[in-house]
Structure 1
């Protein structure tokens, strides 16, 4: 995820990867390499590196930015092969428990407890639990998020449409069709369709959940070509075709953020963390014009996801102490205040620390989206996000090592459907086979 075309700070490394930092080769200086997802919050971190160096001139940070899919591939390969190429990695809530179990990440529990001012208990418990394995902390949260629907209040008013506080997906599809405006190159809604389990399937899996589908049932039987899953995918693709952005398979978080912020989409369903960028008047044409409501539903009461991007230290890093000094700084209470006072309060990393929501300036800047984010993150249920029970904990992902590959392959099949290269039935039948192979591994224990 990340931003393109929204200012110099957000324009880095949207394909492949690129470095940004304060590399030093002078004697006595330790260079720490950080592999980072290319999101706005991480780009803000890069801008604030000089502040870290005022405190730690003996440590230089080399940030390497990558798109989400590229980062996952590179970081997973590095830790699995014990390469030690990266000292610190931005790692998602899906990976942390798996990598912690494999001892690919440094156990940060004791390090975090040494400094009382760091205050581990200040992290929201669901987010803290998500980066733990067997009661031990294997990464620390940088920002957390759920998902909600963002919509243009001015366009809705002009069209005479009132957005309900808890919209249904059928209502959203109806609104999107009405608000699509080809004459202004404006989509009715932007929805991710870029291949990747963390791209397309982040929002799509929540749609599947609320339509009564799921990846697996309690017996680890894949459900990819079953009615609930099929109905959700049909709806998603139909909505994209009728009211979505052009060339949707090239749109992930970054591209939808750019489209929506540049007044080219009437609605956008995505991460709550996007609101900070959407409301930044320096980079967004729609700041102050956006309303926020809970994720659309069909058969469930809620359908938002639960996610965090976290900082973890590679178990094979040769610079663990220096790496921890940076990780501690970037996830501290003071860092939240630094971002707000320096770059703007709407850009403060959200969804991790309780104390952030006690900062008056942040509460004021957060307007509608900050309190709604906190409410949503407390409402969602990662143990049963859909209609039927599931044998794992997670909303927009399945917490098994194989899911990364299952989601990636299935999303590519659906991208082929959207592009007209494959029928939906054929794609879901093939996805069923891919998912079942992983399910069989779970049955074996």
Structure 2
């Protein structure tokens, strides 16, 4: 066969492949796209959530809710990155194949609210049977975007210091100050052996939430007297501390690590200290994923120059897909789960 024939065949194949992909894509989007009419009684209530200790607990009891509403429930648990990607595809296609959405009120809710992808829950939370006032003020305020309540908070998180009990005895126990954490992490780092004194998030928004405790404990804040405070002397000192901690004691590529990359390093016994959300503690006790089950310890966030000032954030909330055809059942789930 001549070279030109081979090229022609490849081009022809490319056109055919593109046509097949386009047809498949159209079919997939049609499956996601919203349709009219009332859903059948057999249609499941579809819930998408982060794979989190809270979600796992709810999923174990989902049969209780199914009996309560008389409808089958499909609950999918994903990582944060997988969840964000899935929402992007489904909601851009006005998909009806998700009803209840677990979202981050401080992150994607702002975009989803702007795009009209979350149902307004203002009237529902105002119902006397729901007791909206029982929720903490800050998480409740974070659930409001554009003057509308778009989600109900179900998870707040604070940082915990995870440490190796078998390694800190000679250090006098877990560090109680950030200075002691820096010293201990450097002392325990053995890069040639692939062992690190500290591991933590360094990537984008995930790093901001975890770094905020360092900022507060250095006496800084994001907003000071109505203006940005991230250029203050206290904030710069917190930046420098966290940078030195990761650079001097952390694994390669630490500034590109999210929770999904940092957590396994500690769970596999390759780091001495790890500061992250208290909600992930169960990952280190699970023999299927953890080698530090017998040696992991838990301690409060260490004190900085301004004391120990850990963050407390409304990390995850429940909202309703604006394109859902099962909004009433979706709200019943939120009432039950919250």
Q: TM-score, normalised by structure 2?
A: 0.70
- Counterpart selection for 2:180 from 168, 171, 174: 171
Residues 1:77 and 1:302: Cα distance change in structure 2 (over 3 Å) = farther
Tell which has more relative contact order, 1 or 2 (C-alpha 8 A, sep 6+): 2
2:36 equivalent to 1:29: no
Q: Which has the higher strand share?
A: 2
Match of 1:277 in 2: 283
Match of 2:152 in 1: 140
2:291 equivalent to 1:302: no
Match of 1:180 in 2: 189
Match of 2:321 in 1: 314
- Counterpart selection for 1:161 from 145, 152, 172: 172
- Counterpart selection for 2:198 from 177, 181, 189: 189
1:132, distance to aligned residue in structure 2 (A): 5.0
Match of 2:4 in 1: none
Q: CA RMSD in A?
A: 3.7
2:227 equivalent to 1:220: yes
Match of 1:324 in 2: 331
Secondary structure in 1 matching 2:184: helix
- Counterpart selection for 1:209 from 203, 216, 230: 216
Q: TM-score, normalised by structure 1?
A: 0.55
Residues 1:285 and 1:233: Cα distance change in structure 2 (over 3 Å) = same
2:74 equivalent to 1:61: yes
1:190, distance to aligned residue in structure 2 (A): 1.1
1:170, distance to aligned residue in structure 2 (A): 1.7
Partner Cα distance (1:293, 1:156) in 2: 12
State the number of aligned residues.
297
- Counterpart selection for 1:242 from 239, 242, 248: 248
2:161 equivalent to 1:149: yes
Partner Cα distance (1:112, 1:227) in 2: 42
Residues 1:162 and 1:144: Cα distance change in structure 2 (over 3 Å) = same
Residues 1:76 and 1:282: Cα distance change in structure 2 (over 3 Å) = closer
Residues 1:254 and 1:50: Cα distance change in structure 2 (over 3 Å) = farther
Partner Cα distance (2:108, 2:251) in 1: 33
Deviation per CA, 1:101-139: give whole Å up to 9, x if none: 8675444465457685x6656555554454357998542
Residues 1:185 and 1:54: Cα distance change in structure 2 (over 3 Å) = farther
Match of 2:9 in 1: none
1:401-420 matches, within 5 Å, as none
Q: Is the 8 A contact 2:177 2:303 kept in 1?
A: yes
Deviation per CA, 1:224-262: give whole Å up to 9, x if none: 4x5433332232222112211233244222333222222
